[in-house]
Amino acid sequence: MNKLASGQFIERDLYVMVLDVNTYKFVAHGLNARTLGADIRNSKNMDGKYYMRELVDLAKHEGQGWCEYRWNHPITNEVLVKATYVQRIGDLAIACGAYKE
């Protein structure tokens, strides 16, 4: 998944993210390998929302679900509402989001 040049986990503006539910660190990211190993607990979006912490907590406590937040579109860089689905598999939170507009 982290071999971005192969593009197997990217489709238009969709990409897969994998986080460890215990450490809150990125294990894999289909679009940005610079995030690997980063602890996301204090990451906020432009609205001050701890969106990634919310996403991992959702997987950790509920097993799966949706999280909405505003984020820059990777192609247009426009700030849009993004709905991200996350599912827990073992100690991993697997997520993929789509822009709503």
The CATH number assigned to the domain with range 4-99 reads: 3.30.450.20
Q: What is the mean pLDDT of the chain?
A: 87
- Which residue in 37, 40, 31, 43 sits closest to 74, CA to CA? 31
Instruction: Check pLDDT > 70 for residue 97.
Output: yes
9 has a pLDDT exceeding 70: no
Give the list of residues 6+ apart from residue 89 with CB closer than 8 angstroms, or none. none
Phi-psi region of 12 (alpha: psi -120 to 50; beta: other; left: phi over 0): left
Name the band, by pLDDT with cuts 50, 70 and 90, for residue 38: confident
pLDDT of residue 11: 60
What mean pLDDT comes out for the span 25-36? 84
Q: Which residues in 26-78 belong to E strands, given as ranges?
A: 26-29, 64-72
Segment among 31-35, 43-47, 82-86 with least mean pLDDT: 31-35
pLDDT of residue 8: 61
Q: Where are the domains of the chain?
A: 4-99
Integer Cα distance of 39 and 94 in angstroms: 16
Residue-level pLDDT at 1: 60
Q: Is 1 helix (H, G, I), strand (E, B) or coil?
A: coil
